[in-house]
Amino acid sequence: MGAFDLIVVGGGLVGAALAWGAQIAGANVVLLDEGDVAFRAARGNFGLVWLQGKGVGIPPYMHWSLRAGRMWPDFAERLSTAVSFDIGWRQPGGLQFCFSEAEIAKRRDIIARTQADGGDIDISILDRADLRALLPDIGDEVVGASFSSLDGHVSPLYLLRALQLAFQAAGGHYRPGFRVEHINAETGAFRASSQIGSVLGRRIVLAAGLGAAKLAPQMGLSMPVKPERGQIVVTERVKSFLPYATNCVRQSVEGTVLLGSSHEERGFDEGTDVATTAALCRTAARVFPALADATVVRSWGSLRVMTPDGLPIYEESARYPGAFAVTCHSGVTLASVHALEIGPALVQGRLPSHLSSFTSERFDVHQS
């Protein structure tokens, strides 16, 4: 087989979104994924498309995230149509609950800073009476919330599956079990090699989550990502009570309730612990006391993909033009722009100029 137009390394949410977007933009793409042995945030996340407060104080990130939020309805529609199943996307708006007036004041500050930076998002403060009108079962300790109609949620597993299926349905080549170990620049092309073979592509993008840190230096790139553990608890299915996305409780389309998620520095440990799951349950029961009677059926730990400042990396290698790095810690939220803007941009061989502040040079550890 000749060279592909684009090799995508990593079949998690970032890689799968890029691959689908590039394939439907007309490229011949191969998506290489290590498989079930890898750390995969894509399979353990909370499923929020969360915009309120995102990127406050960092306008390029805020505007990019808001763009992603606005593109989600079109993205979800196109993806669901391509695979003919419901990916669980809903955009009912999102609520961030507050337990004190001090927390409400912080939310007001976020709204003011968002407006000061020109953020095109409506965020309002709801007092307890407003909130009770929306959610009669809300707990007595909740004094209010901030609300944004742009926030939504999705089933992360359906999203990942849909991206992989839609990519293949559009003619993309999906290679699971292909752990890339070496990447070499050959004349006008890149060769990605694993123990089971190699593929050749005119361009390559490293989107391998935590696996990208090791590969990037081979392409003169730097992706200094580290894991941050998040634990999530899931209850049995209960009757529908929560039509909104929220910062700590989410009811799936099937009726289960997700409680989450923690933020922990635990290296590559994907485990769970009782203290953390108990804390997640306690917070959820403060917000919705009736949840105290729901049976917990599962909990898990999963690793976020974090850069040193928590912002994404979008970069083309100066040493090897045609080799790109893409990573972020909100791969659900940004899936729309990754598919519909970055995927096609990779086909053109040029990242959008408004993302130029997201190179790894900001970490001052650039590989020469």
Ligand X SMILES: Cc1cc2nc3c(=O)[nH]c(=O)nc-3n(C[C@H](O)[C@H](O)[C@H](O)COP(=O)(O)OP(=O)(O)OC[C@H]3O[C@@H](n4cnc5c(N)ncnc54)[C@H](O)[C@@H]3O)c2cc1C
Residues forming the site for ligand X (CB under 6 A): 9-15, 32-35, 38-42, 44-48, 50, 179-180, 207-209, 211, 215, 230, 232, 261, 302-305, 327-333
Minimum CB separation of residue 133 from ligand X in Å reads: 26
What angle do helix axes 156-169 and 13-24 make, rounded to 10 degrees? 30
Minimum CB separation of residue 340 from ligand X in Å reads: 16
Laid out side by side, the sheet with 296-306 consists of 249-251, 257-260, 226-235, 296-306
129 or 324: whose CB is closer to ligand X?
A: 324
Structure-block tokens of residue 28: 């011949």
47 or 55: whose CB is closer to ligand X?
A: 47
12 or 55: whose CB is closer to ligand X?
A: 12
Minimum CB separation of residue 263 from ligand X in Å reads: 9
46 or 288: whose CB is closer to ligand X?
A: 46
Minimum CB separation of residue 64 from ligand X in Å reads: 13
Q: Which of 202, 220, 211 is nearest to 178 (CA)?
A: 211
What are the angstrom distances between the C-alpha of 55 and each of 8, 64, 122, 312? 27, 9, 15, 11
What angle do helix axes 59-83 and 156-169 make, rounded to 10 degrees? 70
Q: Where are the alpha helices (DSSP H) in the chain?
A: 13-24, 59-83, 101-116, 128-134, 156-169, 212-215, 274-287, 335-337, 343-348
Minimum CB separation of residue 109 from ligand X in Å reads: 23
Within a 13 Å sphere around the CA of 359, how many CA atoms are in the beta-carbon half? 17
Minimum CB separation of residue 48 from ligand X in Å reads: 3
27 or 207: whose CB is closer to ligand X?
A: 207
Which residue type, as a one-letter code, is found at position 46?
A: F
Q: Angle at the Cα of 167 (from 169 to 3), degrees rounded to 5?
A: 105
Pairing of strands 173-176, 29-33: parallel
Classify 6 as helix, strand or coil.
strand
43 or 128: whose CB is closer to ligand X?
A: 43
35 or 217: whose CB is closer to ligand X?
A: 35
23 or 127: whose CB is closer to ligand X?
A: 23
Minimum CB separation of residue 309 from ligand X in Å reads: 15
Measure the CA–CA gap between 39 and 136, rounded to whole angstroms. 39
The span from the first CA to the last CA of the chain, in angstroms, equals: 32
Minimum CB separation of residue 236 from ligand X in Å reads: 20
47 or 201: whose CB is closer to ligand X?
A: 47
Minimum CB separation of residue 268 from ligand X in Å reads: 12
CA-atom Rg of the chain in angstroms: 21
Measure the CA–CA gap between 196 and 204, rounded to whole angstroms. 19
Are the beta carbons of 339 and 73 closer than 8 angstroms?
A: no
Are the beta carbons of 360 and 217 closer than 8 angstroms?
A: no
